[in-house]
Chains A and B, each alone.
Chain A
Amino acid sequence: MHRFLIKKLLLAVTTLLAISVITFALFFLVPSNPAEVMCGNRQRCGPERLAQIEQRMGLDQPAYVQYGQFMKGIFVGRTFGEGAAARDCPAPCLGFSFRNDEPVTAIVARTLPVTLSIVFGAAAVWLLIGLSVGMVSALRRGTFFDKVAVGTSLVGASMPIFFFGYLLLIVLVYETGLLPNPKYTPITENPAAWAGAMVLPWIGLGFLNSATYARLARAQMLETLSEDFVRTARAKGLSKATVYGRHALRAAITPIVTIAGLDLGTYLGGTVITETVFGFTGLGKTALNAALNLDMPIVMATVLLAAVFIITANVLVDVLYAVIDPRVRLS
């Protein structure tokens, strides 16, 4: 088990390093000079000013030195420029926005909680609804409930969030006024207001994803119910509750854990459309705006962060899998 864990962690760190290199390469691949973006208006930006900025940002250094400084910034912090113009950037330093000079770390600290709130709340909704509907559907296969559930989940799985989200807004906010127009409030400030604003994205993203999970859970459960060990459990004289709850469920849930973990990792990297529909500025929307504006420090930070989430989720899934399925620990 320990060797398994160490192996997985080493692999994760290696992958992250590789991604940091690729992310850093983005800096050189974009079809514009960062210094020019930084400099702003072309008329007022002479060659001298440009060279000054380049030197300040370290763009005159070779690529590998720049990468080294980038990584050093993340782990120990760095200083841009020299002398009076020097600007300190403590670890984890991800640079400053080209647009408004705000530290990227501050931007992430402001927008990440929005995405975290949306994703974890919605995940709770979709796991709860999806798994219970899927399991009941499988156990009551062919009944009216099953048919309605399968039909609804087909609709849900094929509906995009930018349609369903606006539908929710129109019905629940604009037409009936049941809910206020969502406006993000940090949970630390006012938990009730935070939850109130989050209800819509939780329903929107949660409900749509629960459709996929209901279908997955139903299929997994049906497959497990036809397994020999379920028949053995019944032949032992175990009650239905034990057969389904202890024997079938545990085997059926394993692949769902995998997919849920990976989904969670992906969504944490940003839920652009959900954030845009409901008017939140989360990590996803920040990344999108930064990409459109070629605000490279933010792009790099968000890409790197998304990678961290996905890789962490992967490691967690692997570990969880080994906890659930003893056969994994050996291989």
Chain B
Amino acid sequence: MTAAVIPETPGAYTGAAPYLQVRDLSVRFATEDGVVRAVDGVSFAVERGRTLGIVGESGSGKSVTSLAILGLHDPKRTTIAGQILLGGRDIVGLDEESIRRLRGRDMAMIFQDPLSALHPYYTVGRQVAEAYRVHHPDASWREAHRRAVEMLDRVGIPQPARRANQHPHEFSGGMRQRAMIAMALVNNPELLIADEPTTALDVTVQAQILDLLADLQREFHSAIILITHDLGVVSQVADDVLVMYAGRAVEYGTAEQVLRRPQHPYTWGLLSSVPSLHGDPDADLIPIRGNPPSMIHPPPGCAFHPRCGYALLGSASTPGAAAGACEVDVPQLRQVQERGHTVACHLPEGKRVEIYRRDIAQAGVVR
């Protein structure tokens, strides 16, 4: 068996260290029912100018990962292990004041529901200006306000000077998310984390917001992490994709690799449960059976095996793999033949490629 690899950015590797490198990150919460292993040994990297899509069901550890990067967990209840290198500097275990200085300036975040994420009592302009001013203490409120109006204009809010004096409830959903983006980008952060930024929006507005993010990325050359459960969104904007299940990375590679040549049964499941514009409109969608596992007592071995149609169980005698491996051993992320593509699965690679060609690709689900 080859040792687990800690991957660099997949695909074309430029030589310079990526802006964000997460190595073997674990996040645990102490609860009354036991320890929740919300994130377990996850590694990934994002370069400036690239977008990483993190995909998974609710409770897979996507959002916890992003909150850990921003240092927003309650330190009393949370144990974070591993490394988070931001511009080469490890920020795990940094004191609150040092990480506060990074938040909103070097790394910023956009949340799922902009209505609840904006303060209902303050004007939008004031909230953007406040984000600017906290990292520019010499700036006056007037300057900060001017900068806020500029940003609102930049994210495509019409009549920005008038809109700056309105409250969030006077904005439409799409406009609110634009304001949220303006607030996140007001200090030109090098890393932007977008946690399900389009989930609460209409489909037409979703596309506009994604276009805007792509535009702004070209302009500011920031690294973006896009957290979503929507594979359509991922295929639209992500350069790289990390698939998470039960707090672990199960597949990681370029968007092309993960979406076109997926090798993990969970990724297959995600792809098969999404309708495709190009496929047969009458074809049945295939949901992933079962529910996400308990994070306090995850299943032994591969956490996905109880829901996996191809798992190597005790009674099965698949050549090339120890019988029952999926029930016993936790699979590590391992490099497949193609460079930069890693998969955590006990099935032999040849078998995975065969199953994908035979069972999954036929359904025409891949965009």
Contact = CB atoms under 8 A, between A and B. Distances in A.
Pairing of A with B:
yes
Given A236-B103, A238-B130, A238-B134, A231 B111 contact: yes
Contact of B135 (A227, A229, A232, A237): A237
Lowest 3 A-B CB distances belong to which pairs? A237-B104, A237-B103, A228-B116
A254 to B, nearest CB: 8
A235 interface: yes
A232 B102 contact: no
Given A237-B135, A238-B134, A327-B167, A232 B118 contact: yes
Contact of B119 (A235, A239, A240, A247): A247
B169 A236 contact: no
Nearest to A239: B100
B322 interface: no
14 contacts: A231-B72, A234-B103, A235-B72, A235-B103, A235-B108, A237-B104, A237-B134, A237-B135, A238-B134, A239-B100, A251-B120, A325-B121, A326-B120, A327-B169
Given A228-B111, A231-B111, A232-B111, A237 B119 contact: no
Contacts of A234: 72, 103
Interface of A: 227-229, 231-240, 242, 247, 250-251, 324-327, 330
Given A235-B108, A237-B102, A250 B134 contact: no
Given A227-B116, A251-B119, A324-B121, A235 B104 contact: yes
A233 B167 contact: no
B138 to A, nearest CB: 16
A50 B134 CA distance: 80
A250 to B, nearest CB: 6
A247 B116 CA distance: 13
A250 B100 CA distance: 22
Q: How large is the interface on B (under 10, 10 to 19, 20 to 34, 35 or more residues)?
A: 20 to 34
A236 B117 contact: no
B104 A229 contact: no
B121 A326 contact: yes
Interface in B40-73: 70, 72
A231 B63 CA distance: 13
Contacts, number: 69
B295 interface: no
Nearest to A231: B72
A247 B169 CA distance: 17
Interface centre among A229, A232, A326, A330 (most CB of B within 10 A): A232
A120 to B, nearest CB: 28
B105 interface: yes
B104 to A, nearest CB: 3
A236 B104 contact: yes
Contact of B117 (A232, A251, A325): A232
A236 B113 CA distance: 16
Nearest to A251: B121
Contact of B100 (A237, A247, A324, A327): A237
Contacts of B96: 240
B131 A326 contact: no
A326 B134 contact: no
A326 B113 contact: no
Contacts of A250: 121
B183 interface: yes
B72 A229 contact: no
B234 interface: no
A238 B180 CA distance: 16
B107 to A, nearest CB: 9
Contact of B167 (A231, A235, A239, A326): A326
Given A228-B116, A236-B183, 6 more contacts: A229-B120, A231-B117, A236-B103, A239-B134, A251-B121, A327-B120
Contacts of B116: 227-229
Contacts of B121: 250-251, 324-326
Nearest to A232: B117
A232 B119 contact: yes
Contacts of B119: 229, 232-233, 247, 251
Contacts of B169: 326-327, 330
A236 B120 contact: no
Contacts of A232: 111, 117-119, 180, 183
A237 B105 contact: yes
B159 to A, nearest CB: 19
A227 B72 CA distance: 13
B119 to A, nearest CB: 4
